[in-house]
Amino acid sequence: MDPIFEAYKQILRESIDLTNHKPKYTKEDKQAYLKKLAYKKIQDYINSRSRGDLNLTNTPITSLPDNLKVGGGLYLRNTQITSLPDNLEVGGGLYLRNTQITSLPDNLKVGGGLYLGNTQITSLPDNLEVGGHLYLDNTQITSLPDNLEVGGHLYLRNTPISKKYTAEELKRMLPGVEGKIYT
């Protein structure tokens, strides 16, 4: 089981003083403790040579260290993160669904899929390389870089772009997308 989730359950169990039914810890105390655990998890991951996945889903994390390299997938779903560090490299998938992310760093390279559904993202950086599928469903994405490279499919359902262009028009405009384009 995920140690952050287990710690969260323990905090919930300990957070009520049963003798007088008053909270022992404030919500802020719990969030600070969970954030500290999440940053410790990142440091432990870096110390273990960045092997495998780094799962920070449902944590109160708001930022990541610069020059972070993730050998596997990076899971940031349902977090409070708003931006990613420069020089981020992800060997597997990058999962940002349901985050407050508004932009991606230039020259981002993702070995697997990039999942940006239900985010505030409106454009993508130049030189973005995605080895797998790129999911932009349910975003306000209004433009795509000419030099976009996607090794899989591009999903644009329920976006301003899907209302403006057909899949065929986008395929001609985006030669770096190897798979199908879904509008």
Domain boundaries, the chain: 1-48, 51-182
CB-based contact 138:163 (threshold 8 Å): no
Tell me the fold of 51-182. 3.80.10
Quote the mean pLDDT of the chain: 89
Write down the pTM of the prediction. 0.83
**pLDDT given for residue 84 in this prediction:** 93
**pLDDT given for residue 174 in this prediction:** 94
Q: Terminal CA-to-CA distance of the chain, rounded, Å?
A: 38
E strands of the chain, at which residues? 16-17, 22-23, 54-55, 69-70, 74-75, 89-90, 94-95, 109-110, 114-115, 129-130, 134-135, 149-150, 154-155, 181-182
**pLDDT given for residue 155 in this prediction:** 97
**pLDDT given for residue 33 in this prediction:** 87
CB-based contact 90:109 (threshold 8 Å): yes
Residues of the chain with confidence (pLDDT) below 50: none
